[in-house]
């Protein structure tokens, strides 16, 4: 079992209706899709590695969600989970990804030359740019379900692969459990270090077991390309740099990711992929290309503007407090949170306050789930960017972070998450 719970075979001594979870106060995609009929049909099934329906849904059962923030509420324990429990996963995926049907085929295009624009974002406002994705290694179970030995094998394989990179991607691996204080402080200063998962969504799924065993961070010598090992996914690949040259960030991301994938293939361990789901990851929100791009932008006095809330709504952004003592409004990208969004239509999608939507701004890069974001920093922004981890967290005093979705449809133009180049807003009148 991936974590301590009551998912033992004694549950089969009880009727399905006696084991069915109480989801009456829940607001997540799992609770929306799960029915007593589906539970009865799937509760005695398990994947070849032993992952069960109750393991799939437990994180969503333990975390009802928020009335205005819909979480996904489930995880996969291995590649086979999406097939064995497809009666549950298919409607969740269709709901979460704007109508993506079980018969649809996913298109992945990571040719960076197809990206138009994005190399001239105004450096007076754009502090940093970042693109990330996740990848799972075929032949191993996923973080919610893997054993210690399996996790260590993933780390060993990843170190061997990453250490073979050359040129601009040559770098070093830092295991969390043997990291020196000096190395740890340097990674903190560089905004690379990821902390132990404290989110109930991650803890309930079993992803924090044995922490920090077999977890680590690899980055290149230039500190512009990094890989997290055994966090929420086997690998999290991130390209980032200061300034607004998103085109260069995306080029490095595509080239580096393709090099890593080729190394794993040659070692006999390709990434999990199929023509329907695209790249297979732990959370259904990350299926597809798994792409998320974001820029961190300084817009002085914007938070004081009387129409600030209206501006965010029209751009489909969500504000977040990041300064000391400020509550974080919303949840991190790694937790698979979203607000409901209508199915994609031709051209622009009607503005909605969506936290994570499934779209990249170029037509050929549209994944089942690409997520874009724009970070907005208040007038007290620090001179250097805040942490650029997937779990968005700023260090600006009274700063604001907003993440959101781009407009849907081809030809939207630029690389910011809502399809427009950032510009200053007028000061409050």
Residue positions forming the annotated binding site for ATP: 128-132, 191, 236, 292-296, 320-325
| CB contact at 8 A, 132 and 259 | no
- Work out whether strand 317-321 and strand 337-338 pair parallel, antiparallel, or are unpaired: unpaired
From residue 73, alpha-carbon distances to 58, 70, 158 in Å are 8, 9, 29
How is 52-71 classified by DSSP, letter by letter?
Answer: BHHHHHHHHHH---BTTBEE
| CB contact at 8 A, 273 and 349 | no
From residue 297, alpha-carbon distances to 100, 133, 317, 382, 387 in Å are 32, 21, 13, 12, 13
Angle between helices 148-162 and 246-266 (to 10 degrees): 110
Angle in degrees, CA 63, 68, 74, rounded to 5 = 35
Q: Is 101 exposed, middle or buried (0-12, 13-18, 19+ CB in 10 A)?
A: exposed
H runs (alpha helix) in 286-415: 308-315
Closest C-alpha to 165, from 110, 227, 248: 227
CA 251 to chain centre: 20
Per the annotation, binding residues are 128-132, 191, 236, 292-296, 320-325
341 vs 353: CA distance, rounded Å: 8
Where do we find the tokens 């952004």? 317
9 vs 7: CA distance, rounded Å: 7
In the chain, what is the greatest distance between 2 CA atoms, to the nearest angstrom?
A: 68
């Amino acid at each position: 079992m991936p974590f301590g719970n009551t998912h033992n075979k004694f549950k089969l001594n009880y009727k399905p209706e006696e084991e069915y979870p109480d989801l009456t106060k829940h607001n997540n995609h799992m609770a929306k899709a799960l029915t007593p009929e589906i539970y009865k049909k799937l509760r005695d099934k398990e994947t070849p590695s032993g992952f069960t329906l109750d393991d799939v849904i437990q994180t969503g059962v333990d975390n009802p969600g928020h009335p205005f923030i819909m979480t996904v509420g489930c995880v996969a324990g291995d590649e086979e989970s999406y097939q064995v429990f497809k009666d549950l996963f298919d409607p969740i995926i269709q709901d979460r990804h704007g109508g993506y049907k079980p018969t649809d085929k996913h298109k992945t295009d990571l040719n960076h030359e197809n990206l138009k624009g994005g190399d001239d974002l105004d450096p007076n406002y754009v502090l940093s740019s970042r693109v990330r994705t996740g990848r799972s290694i075929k032949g191993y179970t996923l973080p919610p379900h893997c054993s210690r030995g399996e996790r260590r094998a993933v780390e060993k394989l990843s170190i061997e692969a990453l250490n073979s990179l050359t040129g601009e991607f040559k770098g070093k691996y830092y295991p969390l459990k043997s990291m020196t204080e000096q190395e740890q402080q340097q990674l903190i200063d560089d905004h690379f270090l990821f902390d132990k998962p404290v989110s109930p969504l991650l803890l309930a799924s079993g992803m924090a077991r044995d922490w920090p065993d077999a977890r680590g961070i690899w980055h290149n010598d230039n500190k512009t390309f990094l890989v997290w090992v055994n966090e929420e996914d086997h690998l999290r690949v991130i390209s980032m740099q200061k300034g607004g040259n998103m085109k260069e960030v995306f080029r490095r991301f595509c080239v580096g990711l393709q090099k890593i994938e080729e190394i794993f293939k040659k070692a006999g361990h390709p990434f999990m992929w199929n023509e329907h789901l695209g790249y297979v990851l732990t959370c259904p929100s990350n299926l597809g290309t798994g792409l998320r791009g974001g820029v961190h932008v300084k817009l002085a006095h914007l938070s004081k503007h009387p129409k600030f809330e209206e501006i965010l709504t029209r751009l489909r952004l969500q504000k977040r407090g990041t300064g000391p003592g400020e509550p974080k409004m919303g949840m991190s990208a790694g937790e698979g949170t979203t607000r409901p969004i209508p199915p994609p239509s031709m051209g622009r999608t009607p503005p909605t306050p969506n936290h994570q939507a499934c779209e990249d701004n170029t037509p050929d890069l549209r994944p089942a789930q690409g997520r874009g974001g724009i970070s907005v920093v208040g007038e007290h922004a620090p001179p250097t960017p805040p942490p650029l981890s997937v779990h968005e967290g700023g260090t600006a005093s009274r700063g604001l972070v907003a993440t959101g979705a781009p407009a849907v449809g081809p030809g939207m133009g630029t690389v910011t998450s809502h399809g427009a180049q950032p510009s200053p807003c007028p000061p409050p009148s």
